[in-house]
Amino acid sequence: MKVTELVTSFAQPIVESFGCSLWDVEYVREGSERFLRLYIDKDGSVDIEDCEKIHRAVDPVLDEHDPISESYHFEVCSAGLERALKRPGDFARFMGSAITVKLYRPRNGLKEIPCVLRGYEEGKVTVEAGKETITFEKSEVALVRLRVEF
């Protein structure tokens, strides 16, 4: 089982006990450091107190399960307004929302396309960009995230 799946399995009930939902678990290397991050969400908005409470509750459980053998930093963060959409449920929840699609290679000279989410099926993302409807293959898309418009 991957580190992120293992951490999700024991962190999710803890996060939910604080009235939040676990949006994502990320285990990444940044420079020479490793980071384990829990991204949380809740109706209204996540504040620093939510992050602190959940950090204090999950930290001893992490020590108990010891899912990572090397040194790492543990953080609990808000999923944020411009959160990444990764799972089919994320796409379903935000259908019709403003998003930015980041591509591996430019299309019509653009690597980032501001658009509206219109469909998601088997990794293919369908969007409306201006008056054009575009479907991106999973292999073309580096990242899809919500876009806040002011």
Residues 48-67: tens digit of each pLDDT: 999 999 999 999 999 999 88
Please measure the distance between the N-terminal and C-terminal CA atoms of the chain and give it in whole angstroms.
41
Instruction: Tell me: pLDDT of 1 over 80.
Output: no
Average pLDDT over residues 98-110: 94
Span 3-78 CATH architecture: 2-Layer Sandwich (3.30)
**Structural class in CATH, domain 88-146:** mainly beta
Contact 98, 116 (CB under 8 A): yes
- Residue 126 pLDDT level (bands cut at 50, 70, 90): very high
Q: Tokens for 140, please give them.
A: 């073309």
Average pLDDT, the chain: 94
Contact 118, 126 (CB under 8 A): yes
Q: Which residues touch 123 (CB under 8 Å, ≥6 apart)? A: 137, 138
Intervals of CATH 3.30.300.70 along the chain? 3-78
Intervals of CATH 2.30.30.100 along the chain? 88-146
Contact 36, 68 (CB under 8 A): yes
